[in-house]
Chain A
Amino acid sequence: MNKTTAIAVNEISKAYRIFRRDALPDTLIGMMTSIARSPIRNIRYLRSLSRNIADSNELTSDQFWALRDVSFDIPTGEVVGVIGRNGAGKSTLLKILSRITEPTSGEAVIRGRISSLLEVGTGFHPELTGRENVYMNGTILGMTKREIDKKFDQIVDFAGVDRFLDTPIKRYSSGMQVRLAFSVAAHLDPEILIIDEVLAVGDAEFQKRCIGKMQEVAGGGRTVLFVSHNMSAIGQLCTSGILLSEGRVTASGKLDDVVQSYMDDLFETESAVGDHSTRVSVQTSIDGDAHQRMWKYGTSLAVRVDVETVEPVAGPAVDVYFNSSAGRMIFAQSDRFVKSPGSDANRWSFEFQFQNNGFVADYMTIDIGFRYSSSTRYLGLWRGVRAVSLGEVPEGYSHGRECPIAVPCAVQLMESAA
């Protein structure tokens, strides 16, 4: 029986108190009494912070649930990506599983030695030498001195700092420090590993080695829980996923499905946007599948834009912008109706076809602009109406960079009168 459960999470909830600011007094007397009373108020507040929320059954308005009844099982050897927007509860979940903080209610059972990397280089001290910091950091992460002795050469080798081992790390470049820190973390040998966005360290070359090391760890039969916003890193490492949204698990299972739900969740904006004078509806489909959100290498994306205006417009044009997750515009495409006198209409359809010939980005968002073909001023510009995830990075492209490659584009136009 090798498919035992490594992590069983059962209805875990975590509540935090939100700092509530008292209304500021606006009179001098009010201010003075408030200052005089503040020690009592502060003591009450500080005490309430360290009291257990579960102790007091009443749920007051200044509490906030970071996690609510989260349950899932992770079989041994599974590499699971935890995804979700900012504030969805990912970090809280990891903190609970790595025992940094306790859940308010619920239980988790973990089978195996667990190590968590919520940050690299915890416990690093600038005055200590590289060697001392390796031991310091390693023991903090739960290794024994013996285990570190055994791996010491590998760690130093991987970080490439062997010449500076006995130099205080305050004399290291920041890149060297980070490399050493990651290297210690990468050589942890637990059965279960929890990783939070530590990939974003070092230069491109080192990042590639990091990903390689992670894949090695993931492939070694270890259970890994990996939190990242970087969809392509998740795509490379994970086989299944958990989607958190507002503290709850909203999807789990096969990675592709979870990523797709995430994309829907991330931009669940109405497909029809616009104002009183113009309405735009946007549909995307990938290789003919309207529910697909993974625009993989080699597949084609169709973007259909339906525009409806109150007043008939002569010669409308639509611009489609693709932006990287970092917010940078990657490419744009526009098309227009050539003004044909006498055929002013107020409903148009634009269909764009794009082929993914090698975009390297985790996901892209789509902006739609609508204007007269003779003008550059937009009648309407809608940002982030759709998003597509790009899946795995094809061979030969370095990670984290977008490479726009010629995009064959087929545009189909339809026009109808009011």
Chain B
Amino acid sequence: MNKLKILNIMSNPAEAVASEAASDGIAMQPYPVTRIRNTSGSAWTNWVELYRYRDLFQYLVRREIKVRYAQSAIGVGWAVLQPLFTMLVFTVIFGRLAKLSSDGAAYALFSFAGLVPWMFFSNAVTDGVNGLISGASMMSKVYFPRMLMPLSANAARMIDFVVASVVMSGLMLWYGVAPNWGLLALPWILAVMALCTSGVTLWLATFAIQFRDVKHALGFIVQILMYAAPVVYPASLVPDAYQRFYAINPMVGVIEGIRAGCLGTRAMPWDFLLIGTISAIALFGTGVTYFNSKQRVFADLA
């Protein structure tokens, strides 16, 4: 139409096309070409671009960790205290008072084995969602793959998970419990845990950008979800008929798998893990898709 050209008058469209074709050729094309258009909610993920921004991911994770424990007296010690005190409370209330079954293990050890992955999940989801909301001002100033924000907040909680795992090993030594071969499934278990965590984070974060209600409801949602996973009680308490259904929650397989490998309270729950893997992949896949379909409006909403 009334295309205004600056200094570079290429009024002949054929010429314009020709020059474009020439510069698109391999030899003439030193620069990457970015096309900006309305993607209309396309859910396509640019994994190449995500990889290109890996350094940013690394620094976001570092910043998250450093800032979290900056100016706190015991620093990363909080990663020890938080599950430890929760474990003590649970042991008194659910172990001593309610006398919940712990599949034969010491209740303290039993609940701690559940708390380590659970605390990772709940803290990572909370941080991921809040991180995206509080990073909104950043998103309206500069472009980078938005998915890095919630995912880096998730990843930063791995440090707490590692610290809590060390405490777990200490507790096992104290109680004289040795892990078994089932622990070799740990990489699989951790992968399910990570996929499930980031899937849930992406879903909730995308909601939260649109509806700030999620921010207020988040603590409550995470609390409720805890009772949908075998944190304070063993999966064996769930009636057999519902076990498969129960295992759709990927954290069921994760927690029971860790208990089986570390404490030997039960046989490795392969069926739970399999169901959990499928639903974790589904959660992550749909989470990524949903996030991507909405991320282009984040800057306008935030």
Chain A interface (Cβ < 8 Å from any Cβ of B): 1, 3-5, 10-11, 16, 43, 46-47, 49-50, 52, 54-55, 69, 71-75, 78, 80, 95-114, 116, 118-119, 122-123, 125, 127-128, 132, 135-136, 139-145, 168, 191, 240, 242, 249, 252-253
Task: List A contacts of B45 (CB < 8 A).
Answer: none
Give Cα distance in the complex from A97 to B142, angstroms: 11
CB neighbors of A among B204-218 (8 A): 209-211
Task: List B contacts of A95 (CB < 8 A).
Answer: 140, 299
Query: Which chain B residue has the least Cβ–Cβ distance from A242?
Result: B6
Task: List B contacts of A11 (CB < 8 A).
Answer: 1, 3
Give Cα distance in the complex from A385 to B151, angstroms: 56
Task: List A contacts of B70 (CB < 8 A).
Answer: 127, 168
Whether A127 contacts B299 by the Cβ 8 Å rule is no
Whether A100 contacts B143 by the Cβ 8 Å rule is yes
| Distance of A261 from chain B, by nearest CB (Å) | 12
The contact sample of 11 A-B pairs, CB cut-off 8 A, is A1-B23, A75-B6, A101-B299, A104-B38, A108-B37, A110-B34, A128-B67, A143-B55, A145-B58, A145-B59, A191-B31
Seed contacts A49-B210, A142-B53; 13 additional CB < 8 Å A-B pairs: A1-B19, A1-B22, A49-B297, A52-B297, A54-B38, A101-B296, A102-B39, A103-B38, A110-B36, A112-B32, A128-B67, A132-B62, A139-B58
Give Cα distance in the complex from A16 to B140, angstroms: 15
Specify which of B6, B23, B53 is in contact with A72 (CB 8 Å cutoff): B6
Whether A136 contacts B59 by the Cβ 8 Å rule is yes
Give Cα distance in the complex from A101 to B70, angstroms: 33
CB neighbors of A among B19-75 (8 A): 19-20, 22-23, 28, 31-41, 53, 55-56, 58-60, 62-63, 66-67, 70-71
Chain B interface (Cβ < 8 Å from any Cβ of A): 1-8, 10, 19-20, 22-23, 28, 31-41, 53, 55-56, 58-60, 62-63, 66-67, 70-71, 138-144, 209-211, 294, 296-297, 299-301
Whether A140 contacts B5 by the Cβ 8 Å rule is no
Q: Is the interface of A mostly helix, strand, loop or mixed?
A: mixed
Whether A50 contacts B19 by the Cβ 8 Å rule is no
Whether A72 contacts B138 by the Cβ 8 Å rule is no
Give Cα distance in the complex from A46 to B301, angstroms: 9
Whether B37 contacts A103 by the Cβ 8 Å rule is yes
Whether A145 contacts B6 by the Cβ 8 Å rule is no
Q: A71-B2, A128-B63 are in contact. Are A140 and B36 (CB under 8 A)?
A: no
Q: Which 7 A-B pairs have the closest CB atoms?
A: A139-B56, A112-B31, A99-B143, A127-B70, A108-B36, A75-B8, A71-B3
Task: List A contacts of B141 (CB < 8 A).
Answer: 100, 118-119, 122
Whether A71 contacts B1 by the Cβ 8 Å rule is yes
| Distance of B298 from chain A, by nearest CB (Å) | 9
Whether B6 contacts A240 by the Cβ 8 Å rule is yes
Whether B142 contacts A75 by the Cβ 8 Å rule is no
Give Cα distance in the complex from A78 to B8, angstroms: 10
Give Cα distance in the complex from A321 to B299, angstroms: 44
Give Cα distance in the complex from A109 to B142, angstroms: 18
Task: List B contacts of A108 (CB < 8 A).
Answer: 35-37
Task: List B contacts of A47 (CB < 8 A).
Answer: 210
Task: List B contacts of A52 (CB < 8 A).
Answer: 38, 40-41, 297
Task: List A contacts of B56 (CB < 8 A).
Answer: 139-140
Give Cα distance in the complex from A71 to B4, angstroms: 6
Task: List A contacts of B41 (CB < 8 A).
Answer: 52, 55
| Distance of B240 from chain A, by nearest CB (Å) | 40
Give Cα distance in the complex from A123 to B138, angstroms: 7
Q: A47-B210, A136-B63 are in contact. Are A252 and B142 (CB under 8 A)?
A: no
| Distance of B54 from chain A, by nearest CB (Å) | 8
Give Cα distance in the complex from A127 to B210, angstroms: 29
Task: List A contacts of B37 (CB < 8 A).
Answer: 102-103, 106-108
Query: Which chain B residue has the least Cβ–Cβ distance from A104?
Result: B38
Give Cα distance in the complex from A122 to B70, angstroms: 20
Give Cα distance in the complex from A99 to B145, angstroms: 10
Task: List B contacts of A55 (CB < 8 A).
Answer: 40-41
Q: A101-B299, A139-B56 are in contact. Are A114 and B144 (CB under 8 A)?
A: no
Q: A3-B8, A11-B1, A46-B211 are in contact. Are A122 and B138 (CB under 8 A)?
A: yes
Task: List A contacts of B299 (CB < 8 A).
Answer: 95, 100-101
Whether A107 contacts B8 by the Cβ 8 Å rule is no
| Distance of A190 from chain B, by nearest CB (Å) | 10
Task: List B contacts of A99 (CB < 8 A).
Answer: 34, 36, 143
Give Cα distance in the complex from A96 to B140, angstroms: 11
Give Cα distance in the complex from A110 to B209, angstroms: 29
Give Cα distance in the complex from A141 to B34, angstroms: 16
| Distance of B181 from chain A, by nearest CB (Å) | 40
Specify which of B7, B10, B211, B294 is in contact with A240 (CB 8 Å cutoff): B7
Query: Which chain B residue has the least Cβ–Cβ distance from A240?
Result: B6
Give Cα distance in the complex from A116 to B296, angstroms: 17
Task: List A contacts of B22 (CB < 8 A).
Answer: 1
| Distance of B60 from chain A, by nearest CB (Å) | 8
Whether A145 contacts B55 by the Cβ 8 Å rule is yes
Whether B71 contacts A253 by the Cβ 8 Å rule is no
Whether A98 contacts B143 by the Cβ 8 Å rule is yes
Give Cα distance in the complex from A118 to B138, angstroms: 11
- Residue among B28, B71, B141 having the largest count of chain A Cβ atoms under 10 Å: B141
Specify which of A54, A75, A132 is in contact with B66 (CB 8 Å cutoff): A132
Give Cα distance in the complex from A25 to B130, angstroms: 35
Q: A72-B3, A139-B56 are in contact. Are A105 and B19 (CB under 8 A)?
A: no
Give Cα distance in the complex from A135 to B63, angstroms: 10
Whether B33 contacts A80 by the Cβ 8 Å rule is no
| Distance of A78 from chain B, by nearest CB (Å) | 7
Specify which of A10, A78, A141 is in contact with B3 (CB 8 Å cutoff): A10
| Distance of A249 from chain B, by nearest CB (Å) | 6
Q: A49-B301, A50-B294, A123-B138 are in contact. Are A111 and B38 (CB under 8 A)?
A: no
Task: List B contacts of A96 (CB < 8 A).
Answer: 36
| Distance of A182 from chain B, by nearest CB (Å) | 14
Task: List B contacts of A97 (CB < 8 A).
Answer: 36
Specify which of B4, B144, B294 is in contact with A140 (CB 8 Å cutoff): B144
Give Cα distance in the complex from A3 to B23, angstroms: 11
Give Cα distance in the complex from A253 to B5, angstroms: 8
